[in-house]
Structures are given as C-alpha cells and as structure tokens.
Amino acid sequence: MSLESTVRQLEAAGIQVPARVENALGVMFAARNARGVRYDAASELTAALTGGALTPDNFVDSLRNALVKQVTTAPGPSGAALWQAAEAVERVAENQVRQWLASEFDSFLGHFGEQFDQAAEALAKALPLALNPGATPQEILKGGQRLLMPRPVSRRPKLT
C-alpha cells in the first residue's frame, strides 16, 4: 500500500491530516513526476507564442527557462542531476509523511479501537449462532463476512 493510499484511507476514516503532510504528499507526487519528463525548448516556446503567452518583454526569460528545462531533462549528466535532486526531495517528503504516521500511531489505534470493540462485540454475539458447535478456526475464517450478516427471518408459519 502506498503512503498516499494509507493517508487517504485514514482521512476517509475521519483522521485529520495536517497541512504539512498534505504538502509533503504533493511534493512527493511532483518530484516523482518531474523525473523522466523531457522538455523541448523550441516546442515550449512555440506553444507559448501560439497561446499568446510569449511576448517581446518575456522572451529572454522564457527562452532561458525553457533551455534550463531542456538541458536538465536531457539524457546524460545534466539530466541525471535533475533526477537525483527530484529523488532526494521525494525521499525527504516521504520521510515527513512516515514520521507523521509513526508519531500518530497511538492516536490511530485509539480512533479505531472503538470501532474494533464494536465489531468484536457483534462478532461475539453472531459466532455462536452462525457456527456449528466445535467449529475449527479454519471454518470460522472460511465463513468470513457472511457470519456477521443477519439471516433473513422467515415470515411463513410453520406447518405441523
């Protein structure tokens, strides 16, 4: 399970995710996506001109920025520098998320403890009714969710 998936599941369960963790997840995603993207300065500038974003006033800065992107995403040492820098930032962001998960572990257990206790209580009531006497642990596990589902009550009178 990915870190993002873990955080999203906690969030869906009612856990408040701090802004710094959301930011770290966003940076992780951006850093991961920055690796392997190759830019073509001419295509970028042509698209900017066609879209109306390129002007005589911003041409030099736009050219410089497009060339930096092209050089740093090219194969070889320059591109490797971008890859390494993006990967390093991604790892730091990952560690921030992992530290939050570790530091809040006890509060997560407390949050889910009440739900677990309720499920355990329902299970304790349902199992004796759903299982044959002397059921093995394997039979219990094989029964799964259906053991906890209420059985329909028949409305037909018994014929004698």
Tens of pLDDT, residue by residue over 6-15, are 999 999 989 9
Examine the domain organization and report whether 27 and 16 are in the same domain.
yes
From 33, 38, 22, 32, select the one nearest 88 (Cα to Cα): 32
Examine the domain organization and report whether 30 and 88 are in the same domain.
yes
Quick: pLDDT tens for 14-41: 999 999 999 999 999 898 887 767 778 9
d(CA 7, CA 92): 17
Examine the domain organization and report whether 53 and 120 are in the same domain.
no
Examine the domain organization and report whether 50 and 100 are in the same domain.
yes
From 102, 86, 99, 100, select the one nearest 27 (Cα to Cα): 86
Examine the domain organization and report whether 85 and 144 are in the same domain.
no
Name the domain boundary from 74, 105, 136.
Answer: 105
Domain region containing 99: 3-105
The whole model's pTM is what?
Answer: 0.57
